[in-house]
Structure 1
Amino acid sequence: MTKLVSVLLGVGMLLVAHALPAQALFESLQALPPLQNARVINSSQQEAVEKIYPLGSVRRISGRLRYTGEVLLHGQQSVLTVQLASTHTAGDAFMAARDYLEQHDAQMLFWCEGKDCGPSNLWANAVFDTARLYGPDEQQSYAAFIQPKDGSLITVYAITRGNGRSLLHFEQLAADSMPSDLRPTPATLLRQLREGGKLMLTHLPAEPEPQWLALLVRTLNQSAAFRVVIGGENAALWYEELIAAGVKANRVELDSAENSKLYLQLIQ
């Protein structure tokens, strides 16, 4: 009997250890000021889930759900849905969650706001299977992140419903295997750069790599209305490759000091 109890306890500890990353993440997110006093609507976990996560806007075409970008994953899924206190907005809570994840080394893959995301009813019913997340299209936000440390995908969806109630929905899927070619969309990088004025490129390799180089070129060439500085570690190498790849030299300046991680910063 003692041996059996010991085995069961060991199995229980393994399950707890496996579940802890999502549990710890959700507890940390709920401790953020805009999420304090939020009411938990759903907190659940499934051991084996196969799901397509959008990495682009959502549409229904000829009766079928279509994404401009997506990733299919299989693994353990953890879900948390909260209703914010009336003193906090969905926008502020979404921003706080987004900033927290980025500060803890999560890499944003996709970010959309309002009608750019697609119809809210598709996000609520088809993507997240949670009807209460439905609201006006212009009142929604969505972001997807990859957490390289533990090979998980984290999604955040915020909505202010027609009745004025604000909800945040989080999902974390600890994937059995994660595609190695997942990278942000150019529109997402441009949105991050415009929003914060500075974009940290800590996930880029030390030496310019063709896929990342092409992504930065596409990002910078989406708009000719702004100029940037590139600085930090190995910035000179990336600067030279960006110019060689077709970014106009008058739109990029080099900060040769390597006293920080690689970054892009808007020139005001």
Structure 2
Amino acid sequence: MESLNPLPARPSRAWFRAWLGATCASAGLGVLAAEPDLPGSADPPDFARFPGAWIVAYSAPDAVRDYEFITGPVDKIRRDVRIDNSLRLSGTLTRVTWQAPNGTRLADAVAHYRGLALAAGGRLVFECSGPDCGRSTVWANHVFRVPVLAAPNRTQHFLAMAVPSGDGARLLATIYVVQRGNRRVYAHVDTFAPDPGAVVEFDRNRDLAQVLARHGHAVLEGVTPGRLGRLPPEALATLQAIASSLAAFADQPLHVVCHLGGSAPMDTLLARSTACAEEAAAKLSESGISALAFGAGPLLPREDAPLERVELVAPERLRRR
């Protein structure tokens, strides 16, 4: 009779781990970690580890007064860390970092943790991948303070999510997954429970029509172009959601202005930002909003707004000021 798990002539360590995991799973014993966890650590609720992973950094639940829940990319200009989109809240923070088994693909680890959050009823607030997330060294050393998370910018993925907890309250989760230069994959999860009564508001475009009518221009929150000028799916969904609030402007054209920075030549940045503006205008037009596209590249910076942004301008309102 043939064995269900035949032993090769010279079994490798990777083969043995795979064989052991399959054998344990078939026996109902669960998946074993390849290495022991950090003493005293544990997986947070709703975020079971990637199969075979083990905990390499851990911060037990602790009360914090000024937690920054980041909902955008991060950067560092000279010595100053730049975080344009975030919420500051008081509550209880838990941090866990896992190392995945050798051979794990970055995309598989991302899909695992995203799937856990969505299965728990989570809502995606922000997601980015590669250079669109900013600098990995800032995430690792400044945001999470776990140096092992530093990786090439092109092999990083970040998600910010709001997840219902067991008692009906809202739990905020940030998920950061990287593949380092040595091909090892690490995943980090912050779970944050805001204090009771804390106001957690992600619909920052709720006053968009009023701001646009009063000032003649408004930055669209949650609509951030990537480095190549493309709008991610969540940005397009935000544009579709806010279109209904712009009914008061149905009889006057709005201008969609896309701002985009970077180290590419100026002509390239202008072309990319124009494509971004056209994509945003087309999405608004699907809902009956007359929108004209304009790509500004990096030429219209503002001290009070991110460099990469999409802005609506109502010229008739500007003339009334």
**What is the TM-score when the length of structure 2 is the normalising length?**
0.52
Please name the residue that 1:246 is paired with.
290
CA contact (8 A) 1:91 1:158 kept: no
In the alignment, the residues of structure 1 paired with residue 75 and residue 280 of structure 2 have an alpha-carbon distance, to the nearest angstrom, of: 30
In the alignment, the residues of structure 1 paired with residue 171 and residue 278 of structure 2 have an alpha-carbon distance, to the nearest angstrom, of: 32
Larger radius of gyration: 2
> What amino acid sits opposite 2:56 in the alignment?
I
> What amino acid sits opposite 2:161 in the alignment?
F
User: Shift of the alpha carbon at 1:134?
Assistant: 0.6
Please name the residue that 2:101 is paired with.
85
Are residues 1:170 and 2:170 paired? Answer: no
Q: Residues 16-95 of structure 1: matches in 2 within 5 Å?
A: 23-27=44-48, 30=49, 35-49=50-64, 50-95=66-111
Unaligned runs of 5+ in 2: 1-42, 205-220, 247-255, 259-275, 293-321
CA contact (8 A) 1:53 1:127 kept: no
User: Shift of the alpha carbon at 1:37?
Assistant: 0.5
* Cα 1:174–1:225 shift into 2, 3 Å: closer
- What do residues 121-147 of structure 1 show as CA deviations (whole Å, max 9, x unaligned)? 111000000011011111111110122
Please name the residue that 1:7 is paired with.
none
Unaligned runs of 5+ in 1: 1-21, 211-216, 229-237, 249-268
Are residues 1:133 and 2:149 paired? Answer: yes
* Cα 1:106–1:218 shift into 2, 3 Å: farther
CA contact (8 A) 1:84 1:90 kept: no
> What amino acid sits opposite 1:134 in the alignment?
A
Please name the residue that 1:179 is paired with.
200
CA contact (8 A) 1:151 1:178 kept: no
CA contact (8 A) 2:47 2:116 kept: no
**What is the TM-score when the length of structure 1 is the normalising length?**
0.61
How many pairs are equivalent?
197
Please name the residue that 1:152 is paired with.
171
In the alignment, the residues of structure 2 paired with residue 165 and residue 180 of structure 1 have an alpha-carbon distance, to the nearest angstrom, of: 36
In the alignment, the residues of structure 2 paired with residue 75 and residue 105 of structure 1 have an alpha-carbon distance, to the nearest angstrom, of: 21
In the alignment, the residues of structure 1 paired with residue 257 and residue 61 of structure 2 have an alpha-carbon distance, to the nearest angstrom, of: 38
CA contact (8 A) 1:54 1:70 kept: yes
> RMSD of aligned C-alpha atoms?
3.6
Please name the residue that 1:101 is paired with.
117
- What do residues 189-235 of structure 1 show as CA deviations (whole Å, max 9, x unaligned)? 952369xxx97x9xx79xx567xxxxxx999x85539988xxxxxxx
- What do residues 97-127 of structure 1 show as CA deviations (whole Å, max 9, x unaligned)? 2133224321111111111111111110000
Please name the residue that 1:4 is paired with.
none
1:132 aligned counterpart, secondary structure: helix
